[in-house]
Structures are given as structure tokens and as C-alpha cells.
């Protein structure tokens, strides 16, 4: 009896079907709230994005049932759930100037980059002097810590800084979530390269990309320190201990 209980996580919790059911359902629910309902993305755009995610979820489920191309179908779902909403929100921001559904941490990271390039200390600057004072999430919070100091480690704004400089030099608009997408792609490729059973890769991909509490389309920066951890595990498996230490150290610095 005890032995069966010990095997329960591997037989049930760490199975692709359960992970798709759990994270896929939660992702659909939260995507409906954020996009499908039309509360933030109207004109049918939000509903269209949600329907794409729904169809991709069905494709992923059918792949599991037929036991064919399971990981490929999951990656299609990740693109539909993460990449499509992210690109839509970025384009909407570029067109309207409104950072709708953008996480305040991502927005503050962009402000920190601008402050550093202007010769200011991002940690000692009063962010009420920037557009963050108008942030919609702070309406009911009279004193928010983000308005008075930068909340994250230095690498959070130093890593995307070169991309911001290049975009500025080329006269292109910048959104830190573009960097998030690049980091997410690195994480996905690294997970697929791990010397694990495909089922474990499936579960990890589901947990990392479909967990609505990360909601990467908003620009939440959890992926920035989780990706070096994945890279560290991959390097460790390949006996690249120095690279593994560098990756783990980078994760701690984020």
C-alpha cells in the first residue's frame, strides 16, 4: 500500500495527460479572463486569440490520445497560448501607446533601462517622476514600493539593455516582452535537449509555459531566472560543470 502511494506522483501527477488537463484547463480559464472576455482586447481580437488557444488545446489532447507527435503538439499549444497573445499585446501597445495587461515589473524594467542610460541610479530614483505614477494597478494602492525603488536585481535590466539600445539606434519600438519571448525559446529548446523521458519533458514544458500564474504574455520575469536553471541542469548532464555553475549563478543573480 505504501509502495503504491509512493508511486502515485509518477503514475498520475507526473504524467502528460494530467499536466495537460491541469495546466491546459487553467490556461484556458485565465486566457478567457484576460483576452477572450473582451474586457481588455475588444473588437473580437481577444475572442479570436482565445479560440486559437482552445483549438491548440484540442490538438494537444488528440496527440496524446493517438500517441503521436505529443511534444510537437504541445509546442503548438505553447505558441498559441503564449506567443500569440504576447505579440498581440505588444502590437496593441505600439499602436495605442497603452501598455494594456503589461506587468508593472516589466514596465518598471523598461523605465530602469531608460534611467540608467540617462545617468540615473535605477535603485535610488523616485518613480513617481515617471509614467509609472499613472499605472492602473496602483489606483487602489496609495503607496506602492515599486514607485520608490527598483524591485529586482541589476541583471533584470542589464540583460535587455543592449536590445533596447539597438532598437533605439534603429528607430524601432521596444518592448521588454520581446526579450522574454527569446528567453522562453531558449528554455524550450533546452528542455527538449534534456536527457529525460519525453513524458517528463512534457510535464516540465506544461508547468513552465501553461501555468497561468506566470502568465508570460504580461511580461512576468520568472522565466528569466528559471531558464538559467534549466540550462544549468542541461550543462550538468553533459558534464560541463563550469557552464552549469555559471548558469546557476546567473539564476541567483536574477
Degrees, nearest 5: CA angle 185-172-251: 35
Contact at 8 Å (CB) between 111 and 126?
no
pLDDT band (50, 70, 90) for residue 6: low
Q: What is residue 161's predicted lDDT score, i.e. its pLDDT?
A: 95
Please determine, for residue 70, whether its predicted confidence score (pLDDT) is greater than 70.
Answer: yes
Please determine, for residue 21, whether its predicted confidence score (pLDDT) is greater than 90.
Answer: no
CA dihedral (203, 156, 161, 247) in degrees, to 10, reads -60
* Cα separation, 155 vs 231, whole angstroms: 17
Q: What is residue 240's predicted lDDT score, i.e. its pLDDT?
A: 95
Please determine, for residue 27, whether its predicted confidence score (pLDDT) is greater than 70.
Answer: yes
Q: What is residue 97's predicted lDDT score, i.e. its pLDDT?
A: 84
pTM for this prediction: 0.87
Contact at 8 Å (CB) between 211 and 203?
no
pLDDT band (50, 70, 90) for residue 13: low
Please determine, for residue 5, whether its predicted confidence score (pLDDT) is greater than 60.
Answer: no
**Across residues 162-176, what is the average pLDDT?**
93
Please determine, for residue 142, whether its predicted confidence score (pLDDT) is greater than 70.
Answer: no
φ and ψ at residue 103, rounded to 5 degrees = -65, 140
pLDDT band (50, 70, 90) for residue 132: confident
Amino acid at each position: 500500500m505504501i509502495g503504491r502511494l509512493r508511486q502515485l506522483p509518477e503514475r498520475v501527477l507526473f504524467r502528460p495527460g494530467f499536466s495537460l488537463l491541469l495546466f491546459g484547463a487553467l490556461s484556458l480559464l485565465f486566457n478567457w479572463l484576460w483576452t477572450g472576455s473582451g474586457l481588455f482586447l475588444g473588437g473580437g481580437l481577444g475572442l479570436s486569440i482565445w479560440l486559437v488557444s482552445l483549438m491548440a488545446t484540442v490538438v494537444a489532447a488528440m496527440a496524446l490520445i493517438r500517441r503521436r507527435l505529443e511534444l510537437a503538439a504541445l509546442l503548438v499549444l505553447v505558441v498559441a497560448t503564449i506567443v500569440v497573445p504576447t505579440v498581440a499585446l505588444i502590437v496593441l501597445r505600439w499602436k495605442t501607446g497603452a501598455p494594456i495587461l503589461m506587468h508593472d515589473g516589466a514596465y518598471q524594467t523598461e523605465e530602469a533601462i531608460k534611467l540608467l542610460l540617462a545617468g540615473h541610479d535605477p535603485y535610488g530614483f523616485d518613480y513617481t517622476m515617471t509614467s509609472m505614477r499613472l499605472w492602473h494597478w496602483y489606483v487602489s494602492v496609495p503607496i506602492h514600493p515599486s514607485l520608490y525603488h527598483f524591485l529586482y536585481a541589476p541583471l533584470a535590466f542589464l540583460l535587455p539593455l543592449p536590445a533596447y539600445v539597438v532598437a533605439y539606434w534603429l528607430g524601432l519600438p521596444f518592448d521588454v516582452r520581446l526579450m522574454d519571448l527569446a528567453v522562453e525559446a531558449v528554455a524550450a529548446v533546452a528542455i527538449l535537449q534534456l536527457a529525460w523521458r519525453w513524458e517528463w519533458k512534457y510535464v516540465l514544458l506544461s508547468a513552465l509555459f501553461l501555468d497561468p500564474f506566470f502568465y508570460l504574455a504580461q511580461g512576468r520575469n520568472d522565466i528569466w531566472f528559471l531558464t538559467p536553471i534549466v540550462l544549468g541542469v542541461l550543462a550538468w548532464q553533459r558534464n560541463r560543470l563550469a557552464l552549469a555553475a555559471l548558469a546557476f549563478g546567473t539564476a541567483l543573480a536574477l
